[in-house]
């Protein structure tokens, strides 16, 4: 069985040559067109199409400019109250103890790095946080190491164990592509609790990782954030730990029970792709803050029943809904008014064991759509009356559809739902 053949997933921790960007139609996990071209249909490739072009996740983190002082986390001094120049550590990458006249604007110097899971000494906020198994709260002078820059020539900087992650403790920004993957049990990602921004791609392979707690400070990933696992027995079933995330370049998630944890997310610069080959993900709750997205793919989610979590979406670029066999309603799109690219509702086509959206009986969820910038394709939906597809076409109007219209292999002779 071919599953998720269209997304470039990282399968094993520490694999060589990992990249989310490809020079072909498989760019950043984009599949080649998954189905054969039907008669009279232009295949959705290239240009604004969801399957064409390449996607660059490149991006460099801006340098933390708040000060030239070394802003170290440790030190014997605890009397400096003016804070010196150590605003978030500036460019410093070595936490040499005792050199900072004060940390982070300088209410106090942090008196030594708190031990993991223990009680930190000195500084502000050194009481243990019982919420993550004894993790210390972030003291004012703790997150002062500035930007971590991946070694020159390294495409992906890999952190494959808890010991590896300790190298990032105290850094607030990461410049480059970050891969976190481990086969050994890892209860949380606490060493990353200072991290606020990743300047490239951030890939989290859930194998061995029990929870995403520790990423609460992360607010921006300028490249692609991908959370997935190739193993079904992982303990990470949702995105709790990402409650601070507000903006991503691209978001790709798979094999989750829930998208809860994304409630603060409001901006997706390039695209959102949701895919899963098991029956765990039943809804898209957690995405209520998203009002527009340049590309949205909802593919191969065998347990997905509704898209109500997208009820605040008003504009989308390319929209592709394929092979979600128990999805029986699209009411979650009731506030969507503009599809600036293509709109495809159908099957994965060339993937042998994938049908279309077989439980779908109505397209009334698209009743507010007034324009489709590209192709409209509705095919291989076994329970969807052909008249529903035709009614969507007529509701938008051929003059307001920028590409070809393709309607085929749906339910002939079915009865349409009540007027929209």
pLDDT of residue 230: 57
CB 41 within 8 A of CB 47: no
Listed as own residue / partner, the contacts of 201-204 with beta carbons closer than 8 Å and 24 or more positions apart are 201/20, 201/57, 201/177, 201/225, 201/226, 202/174, 202/177, 202/178, 202/226, 203/10, 203/18, 203/20, 203/156, 203/177, 203/178, 203/179, 204/180, 204/228
**CA pair distance 220, 250, nearest whole angstrom:** 11
Query: CB within 8 A of 414, min separation 6: which ones?
Result: 361, 383, 384, 385, 386, 387, 388
From CA 172, how far away is CA 38, in angstroms rounded?
50
In sequence order, which residues have a C-beta less than 8 Å from that of residue 133 and are 6 or more positions away? 117, 187, 188
Delimit the domains of the chain by residue range. 35-53+307-420, 65-142, 146-281
Q: CATH top-level class for 146-281? A: alpha beta
pLDDT at residue 123, as a whole number = 36
Give the pLDDT score at 191: 94
At 59, is the secondary structure helix, strand, or coil?
Answer: coil
| Contact yes or no for 8/22 (Cβ under 8 A) | yes
- From first to last of its 420 residues, the chain has per-residue pLDDT tens of 433 333 333 333 333 333 344 333 333 333 334 443 443 343 333 333 333 333 333 333 333 333 333 333 333 333 333 333 333 333 333 333 333 333 333 333 333 433 333 333 333 333 333 333 333 344 456 899 999 998 887 777 888 888 889 999 999 999 999 999 877 778 889 999 999 999 999 999 877 788 899 999 999 999 999 998 655 555 568 899 999 999 999 999 988 889 999 999 999 999 999 997 666 899 999 999 999 999 999 999 999 999 999 999 999 999 999 999 999 999 999 999 999 999 999 998 755 566 899 999 999 999 999 999 999 999 999 999 999 999 999 999 999 999 999 999 999 988 886 677
Over residues 300-330, the pLDDT tens digits come to 999 999 999 999 999 999 999 999 999 999 9
């Amino acid at each position: 069985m071919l599953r998720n053949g269209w997304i470039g997933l990282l399968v094993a921790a520490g694999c060589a040559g990992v990249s989310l960007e490809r020079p072909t139609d498989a760019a950043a996990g984009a599949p080649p067109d998954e189905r054969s071209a039907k008669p009279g249909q232009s295949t959705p490739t290239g240009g604004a199409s969801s399957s064409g072009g390449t996607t660059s996740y490149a991006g460099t983190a801006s340098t933390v400019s708040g000060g030239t002082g070394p802003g170290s986390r440790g030190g014997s001094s605890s009397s400096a109250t003016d804070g010196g120049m150590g605003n978030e550590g500036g460019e410093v990458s070595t936490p040499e103890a005792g050199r900072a006249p004060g940390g982070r604007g300088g209410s106090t110097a942090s008196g030594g790095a708190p031990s993991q899971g223990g009680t930190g000494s000195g500084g502000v906020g050194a009481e243990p946080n019982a919420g993550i198994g004894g993790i210390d709260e972030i003291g004012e002078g703790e997150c002062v190491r500035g930007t971590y820059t991946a070694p020159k020539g390294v495409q992906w900087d890999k952190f494959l164990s808890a010991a590896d992650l300790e190298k990032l403790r105290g850094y607030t920004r990461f410049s480059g592509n970050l891969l976190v993957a481990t086969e050994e049990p890892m209860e949380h990602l606490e060493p990353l609790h200072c991290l606020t921004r990743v300047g490239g791609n951030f890939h989290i392979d859930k194998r061995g990782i029990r929870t995403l707690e520790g990423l609460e400070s992360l607010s921006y990933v300028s490249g692609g954030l991908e959370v997935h696992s190739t193993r079904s027995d992982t303990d990470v079933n949702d995105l709790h730990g990402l409650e601070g995330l507000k903006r991503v370049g691209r978001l790709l998630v798979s094999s989750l029970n829930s998208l809860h944890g994304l409630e603060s997310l409001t901006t997706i610069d390039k695209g959102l792709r949701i895919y899963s080959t098991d029956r765990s993900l039943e809804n898209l709750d957690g995405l209520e803050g998203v009002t527009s997205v340049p590309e949205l793919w909802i593919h191969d989610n065998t347990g997905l029943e509704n898209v109500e979590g997208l009820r605040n979406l008003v504009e989308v670029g390319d929209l592709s809904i394929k092979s979600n066999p128990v999805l029986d309603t699209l009411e979650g799109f009731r506030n969507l008014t503009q599809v600036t690219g293509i709109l495809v509702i159908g099957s994965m086509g060339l993937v042998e064991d994938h049908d279309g959206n077989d439980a779908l009986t109505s397209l009334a969820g698209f009743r507010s759509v007034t324009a489709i910038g590209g192709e409209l394709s509705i095919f291989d939906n076994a329970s969807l009356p052909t008249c529903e597809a035709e009614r969507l076409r007529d509701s938008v109007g051929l003059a307001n559809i920028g590409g070809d219209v393709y309607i085929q292999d749906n339910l002939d002779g079915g009865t349409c739902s009540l007027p929209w």
